[in-house]
Amino acid sequence: MMKLHTQTLSELSAGLERREFTSVELTKALLDRIATHNDKLNVFVTITKDEALAAAERADAARARGDVGALNGLPIVHKDIFCTRGVKTSCGSRMLDNFISPYDATVVEKLAAAGAVVLGKTNMDEFAMGSSNETSFYGPVKNPWNLDCSPGGSSGGSSAAVAARFAPAATGTDTGGSIRQPAALTGTVGIKPTYGRVSRYGMIAFASSLDQAGVITRSAEDAARLLGVMAGFDERDSTSIDQPVPDYTAEIGRSIEGLRVGIVRQHFDAGLDEQTGVRVKEAIAALESMGATTVEVNLPSIDLSVPTYYVVAPAECSSNLSRFDGVRFGYRAKDPEDLLDLYCRSRGEGFGDEVKRRIMTGAYVLSAGYYDAYYLKAQQVRALIAEDFKRAFAEVDVIAGPTAPAPAFRLGDKVDDPIQMYLNDIYTIGANLAGLPAISVPCGFVDNLPVGLHLVGPHFAESDLLRCAHQYQLQTDFHRACPEAFQ
Amino acid sequence: MRAGWEVVIGLEIHTQLATRSKIFSGASTAYGAEPNTQACLVDLGYPGVLPVLNAEVVRMATLFGLAVNATVARRSVFARKNYFYPDLPKGYQISQLELPIVEHGEMMISDADGNEKRIGITRAHLEEDAGKSVHEGFEGQSGIDLNRAGTPLLEIVSEPDLRSAKEAVAYLKKIHTIVRYLGISDGNMQEGSFRCDANVSVRPLGQQELGTRTELKNLNSFRFIEKAINYEIERQVDLIEDGGTVVQETRLYDSDKDETRSMRSKEEANDYRYFPDPDLLPVEISDEYIETQRRTMPELPDAKQARFENVYGLKIDDAAILTASRALADYFEEVVKATEASAQIAANWIIGDLLGALNREGWEIDDSRISAIDLAGLVNRIHDNSISGKIAKQVFEAMWEGEGDADAIIEAKGLKQITDSSAIEAVVDKVIDANPSQVEEYRAGKDKLMGFFVGKVMQETGGQANPGQVNKILKDKLKG
């Protein structure tokens, strides 16, 4: 039997179908692998061994009955931001270290209904605020390609889990790049769909108008498969969009002949690591060789995306995180003297520095006298950025560029410099501000660290992004490369 | 009002909308359940949950907007009002700030001189209620009941157009009547379904500029509202006349002491950091939707009162009383439909005897022990001379006590009016024979004694003789 952990979701699916192995065997193999290697990487907040084995048994029984869901018996991991009934849902925070969710997120429910087996909940930046996984209450995740480096963030546990072959697929969430940047830094595929494509119900909110769930996998084909299950309207989320979900796996097979690829000049400015830029340009050249045409497009307001984001996201987070007050759930300070003391110490002790920084920034930009100058202005700029993209997509089908300015950085390098850390998301934030779908695909290495190619499309163009990524992966094998220590 | 001064009052009414489920969740809104049994994860503000707007509240707000001749916004936006309080689970209240669903309405009231006066309605917006802190029974701690959290409210804000406590109450009563007419609120003030805050300021008569206002809270009955405002007027005028200044603050009305006292000043006020709620889309409604709602609008109190005056010929005061609630008006019309007697007679019975009986019990018309059809039955027996008005009161009491309908009671008690002339003549003869001296006095010109003879005859017949006939026969016989 071929090593199970090296196979993609699609390959494993075929193996299960051919009865080469059972879901229980597959689940046990991966759980063993996790037990052996997790300590090196700190990927998991919770390993759900018993639940996983029970789910695998149910999947095998379902298969025996001929009753198989789209993901029957296939192992996945969830970012610990998704509420899972009866299982700790920490959001990477001390605040929720004791929180056992009484319900399942819609994403969790849908994947379970399709037969997926959940191996555990992955580590993440606290409340998804961070780009390196260093803000987690549970300590940083390490990059499987270099244990001294960050796997990116905030979905760093999910990206590391997939890169280290702990699981073929992981869920993630992306508010400013939190799926795509970790995917780029770990040599995996990460897609953030159109805002509203996947339900946010049960996904602990960071910045509601930017948050979107997506997946991290090794192949675009697997991403298409998972996304097809996760996407769709949810009456419990008013911002989810009621539009049919295409069969992404059927659409990825078509050639990209004639696909118009936009290139944004600013994305290759001084902020970009030179070698990273070379890899990305090679990838774009490869797309051209496959029949795509490139066009330079102009996004005049894109340089304002980072400051805009760091007004809008903290504003929303300052309000979203108000419910963590020590009263009904989560961390509660010991022996409070009075109500104010209960609030101040529960929040003071329960939240980490980065979360506090953003709450305070957010409260500031929303406060009387500053609202117009910051929040309102940022919303206006946000509209301009969305307008830029709209104009660009009148001329091109996708926009290609680097996902992150450089390969994985060393843990500790940027942790004391929030601005440097924030700049890691400079290429990804625009898609969140405009609600656009975007994907990161492995496109080579710099000093044995992976580099990601970033593709952004117009609203609901997930099919084009997945197709472009899949066709590219048919011509390349960067996504098949496995970190030395995790063969 | 003290001479030389004028008061300026604006009211904010929080009316609870009568939906079955909450404004952003499926939990029940029923009143009086065990604490925290009607709060779902959304109401509890659990991590990851999201609000979904109850379409019913949009319909109700639209009806209200149409009823007060307001603009119903084609696009309104929910915003978050951020503040920390234990009974506010999310740490913010979902409300509407810049784009409320209803704006620029009006309400006509009668001022002190009985003239029509227009009171502007600035806006009415939708929001969720908070829970309730419970301070008794927890020994040094507070309990929180979140059953009320997420209950839909329509906050109705008036222009500062009111010039006396009486006008304020007249306006409030009118709004109270309207929301109940529309069926959008039960208006129950004891249960907090209809609450009011008053902004009160005073200024020297003739001054254009507004004085500094205070906001009065905890006004949960019409009587208290009037008393609180009057107390506050006196307090402010006293303060200014003594050389002091009014401080902008929130004051709580204490009905036990009949006074207002300071709760918090403007300096201590929160910065609520309002911003549009990103979890909810703007509410967009079409002209077509509004027209559909307009067609479902019930007849409103003013129109109904006018119709009662014109169509039924009721006295103005009676028409006003009968249209105070839709249920009472419906009851009246049902009685009228089932009787040949005049509408005014039906009105008299409802206003006099029925409302009297209901008031004794503290009941509403819906609690009446006598149905409209049964009351019509009673009125019909008076109309067809089966019983006199006096006997009818006796029958009414028996009906109230549940002894059956009018016919059954008249039959069982043998109360049918005596209209047989020969029978009445026999009694009259007997009375004349028995009272010779009175007869003599009467014949000598003491007409007043007629009442004495009628009384005697009625006494003899147990009140059942037809009074008209008794009078006529007596007159004839006494002539001699």
CB contact under 8 A, B50 and A371: no
Q: Residue A208's closest CA among A77, A322, A371, A99? A: A322
Chain B residues closer than 8 Å to A91 by CB: 47
Strand, coil or helix: A67: coil
pLDDT on residue A376: 96
B48 touches A at CB < 8 Å: yes
- Contact between B371 and B404 under an 8 Å Cβ cutoff? The reply is no
CB of A200 within 8 Å of any CB in chain B?
A: yes
E strand spans, B356-470: none
Residues of A in contact with B41 (CB under 8 A): 102-103
pTM over 0.80, yes/no:
yes
pLDDT band for position B384 (50/70/90)?
confident
Task: Indicate the range of A284-288, A459-463, B465-469 predicted with least confidence.
Answer: B465-469
Predicted pLDDT at B323: 94
A105 CB near a chain B CB, below 8 Å? yes
A-chain residue closest to B274, CA distance = A366
Is residue B47 within 8 angstroms of chain A, CB to CB?
Answer: yes
Contacts of B268 (CB under 8 A, 6+ apart): none
For residue A426 the two structure tokens come to 């400079």
Contact flag B271-A368 (C-beta cutoff 8 Å):
yes
The more confident residue out of B478 and A2 is B478
- Look at B50 and A200 and tell me if their CB atoms are within 8 Å: yes
* Interface residue A293 vs chain B (CB under 8 A): no
CB A27 within 8 A of CB A56: yes
Q: B35: distance to nearest CA of chain A, Å?
A: 14
- Residues from chain A that touch B45, judged by Cβ atoms under 8 A, are 323, 328
pLDDT-derived band at B179 (thresholds 50, 70, 90) equals: very high
Of B49, B84, B275, the CB nearest to A325: B84
Is the Cβ–Cβ distance between B240 and B202 less than 8 Å?
yes
Nearest to A322 among B91, B144, B275 (CB): B91
Phi first, then psi, for residue B320 (nearest 5°) are -65, -45
Residues of A acting as catalytic residues: 79, 154, 178
Residues of A in contact with B84 (CB under 8 A): 322, 325, 343
Q: What is the mean pLDDT of residues B200-228?
A: 92
Pairwise CB contact (< 8 Å): A201 & B49: yes
**Cβ-nearest to A322 among B92, B275, B279:** B92
Q: Is the pLDDT of residue A312 over 80?
A: yes
In this prediction, residue A453 carries a pLDDT of: 98
| For testing contact with chain B, the best of A97, A328, A342 (most B CBs within 10 A) | A328
pLDDT tens digit sequence for B72-116: 999 999 999 999 999 999 999 999 999 999 999 999 998 878 889
Q: Are A367 and B92 inside 8 Å of each other by CB?
A: no
State how far the Cα of A233 lies from the Cα of A241, in Å rounded to an integer: 5
Contact A102 B44 (CB under 8 A): no
pLDDT band at residue B56 under the 50/70/90 scheme? very high
Cβ atoms within 10 Å, residue B168: 28
Transcribe A319-336 into DSSP letters.
HHGGG-SSSSSS---SS-
Please report the pLDDT score of residue B32 as a whole number: 85
Whether pLDDT at B265 is above 80: no
Which residues lie closer than 8 Å to A104 by C-beta, 6 or more apart? A83, A84, A85, A112, A202
Give the DSSP per-residue string, B37-77. SS--TTTTT-TT------HHHHHHHHHHHHHTTPEEPSEE-
**Residue that wins the pLDDT comparison between B471 and A252:** A252
* A174 pLDDT higher than 90: yes
Residue with tokens 């990601």: A452
Q: Is B360 exposed, middle or buried (0-12, 13-18, 19+ CB in 10 A)?
A: exposed
Q: How many residues does chain A have?
A: 487
Tens of pLDDT along A323-341?
A: 999 999 999 999 999 999 9
Alpha-carbon distance of A156 to A152, in angstroms, equals: 5
In this structure, how many other beta carbons lie within 10 angstroms of the beta carbon of residue B16? 24
A354, A130 Cβ separation under 8 angstroms: yes
Select the residue of A91, A315, A328 nearest B44 (Cβ to Cβ): A328
Do B275 and A371 lie within an 8 Å CB cutoff? yes
B457, B429 contact by CB (below 8 A): no
Range in A101-105, A472-476, B242-246, B453-457 the model is least confident about: B453-457
Put simply, whether B50 touches A (Cβ < 8 Å) is yes
How many alpha carbons lie under 13 Å from residue A394 in its C-beta half-sphere?
7
Mean pLDDT across the stretch B220-228? Answer: 91
Q: Tell the residue number behind the tokens 């780009």, with chain if given.
A: A131
The residues with which B128 forms a beta bridge, in sequence order, are B152
Q: What is the pLDDT of residues B59-69, one digit of tens each?
A: 999 999 999 99
pLDDT in the model for residue B232: 95
Q: What pLDDT is recorded for position B42?
A: 97
Strand A260-264 and strand A398-402: the pairing is parallel
Please check the confidence at residue A408 and state whether its pLDDT lies above 90. Answer: yes
Lookup: tokens for A16: 């299960």
Residue A270 has pLDDT above 90, yes or no: no
Query: Which pLDDT belongs to residue B190?
Result: 87
- A126 vs B: CB within 8 A: no
Q: Could you read off the pLDDT of B355-380 as tens digits, one per residue? A: 999 999 989 899 999 999 999 999 99
Q: Distance (Å, rounded) from C-alpha B64 to C-alpha B184?
A: 8
Contact A205/B at CB under 8 A: yes
pLDDT over 70 (residue A136):
yes
Task: Enumerate the residues of chain B whose CB falls inside 8 A of the CB of residue A211.
Answer: none
- Give yes or no for A240 touching B (CB within 8 A): no
Interface of A with B in 375-394 (CB under 8 A): 375
* Residue of chain B nearest A363, judged by CA positions: B273
Q: What one-character DSSP code corresponds to residue B213?
A: P
Judged by CB atoms closer than 8 Å, whether chains meet at A238 and B50 is answered as yes
CB of B271 less than 8 A from some CB of A = yes
The answer to whether A456 and A385 have CB atoms below 8 angstroms apart is: no
Q: Taking every pair of C-alpha atoms in chain A, what is the biggest distance, in angstroms?
A: 69
Contact B92 A89 (CB under 8 A): no
Q: Is A89 part of the contact surface with chain B (CB cutoff 8 Å)?
A: yes
**ipTM field:** 0.96
A367 → closest Cβ in B48, B53, B271: B271
pLDDT > 70 in chain B, percent? 99
Contact of B53 with chain A, judged by CB distance below 8 Å, is answered with yes
Is residue A386 very low, low, confident or very high in pLDDT (cuts 50, 70, 90)?
A: very high
The CATH homologous superfamily to which domain A4-260+401-486 belongs is Amidase signature (AS) domain (3.90.1300.10)
Q: Of B52, B86, B91, which has the smallest distance from its Cβ to A339's Cβ?
A: B86
CA distance B50 to chain A (A): 6
Whether A96 and chain B come into contact, CB under 8 Å, resolves to yes
Contact B158, B122 (CB under 8 A): yes
d(CA A409, CA A276): 13
Please report the pLDDT score of residue B388 as a whole number. 80
pLDDT confidence band for A2 (50 / 70 / 90): low
Is a pLDDT exceeding 80 seen at residue B269? Answer: no
Q: Are B47 and A371 an interchain contact pair (Cβ–Cβ within 8 Å)?
A: no
Q: Which of B37, B102, B54 minimizes the C-alpha distance to B76? A: B102
**Closest B-chain CA to A81:** B48
The pLDDT assigned to A183 comes to 98
DSSP state of A407: S
Yes or no, beta carbons of A238 and B278 under 8 Å apart:
no
A209 contacts in chain B (CB < 8 Å): 278
Greater model confidence, A285 or B414: A285
Q: Is A485 on the interface with B (CB under 8 A)?
A: no
Burial of B110 (0-12, 13-18, 19+ CB in 10 A): middle
Are A17 and A71 within 8 A, CB to CB? no
Mutate: best of A78, A320, A331, A344, partner B, most B CBs <10 A? A320
Per CB-CB distance under 8 Å, the chain B contacts of A97 are none
Of B41, B82, B271, the CB nearest to A319: B82
Average pLDDT of the residues of chain B: 92
CA-nearest residue of chain B to A344? B84
To the nearest whole Å, the CA of A319 is away from the closest chain B CA by: 7
B99 touches chain A (CB under 8 A): no
Residues whose CB is less than 8 angstroms from the CB of residue A378 and which lie 6 or more positions away in sequence, other chains included? A307, A308, A311, A312, A315, A365
pLDDT of residue B267: 60
pLDDT at B385 over 60: yes
Q: What stretch of H or E contains A318?
A: helix A305-320
CA distance A210 to chain B (A): 9
Listed range (A75-79, A295-299, B425-429) with the worst mean pLDDT: B425-429
Q: What is the pLDDT of residue B460?
A: 86
Q: How many CB pairs under 8 A join A and B?
A: 98
B386 confidence band (pLDDT: 50, 70, 90): confident
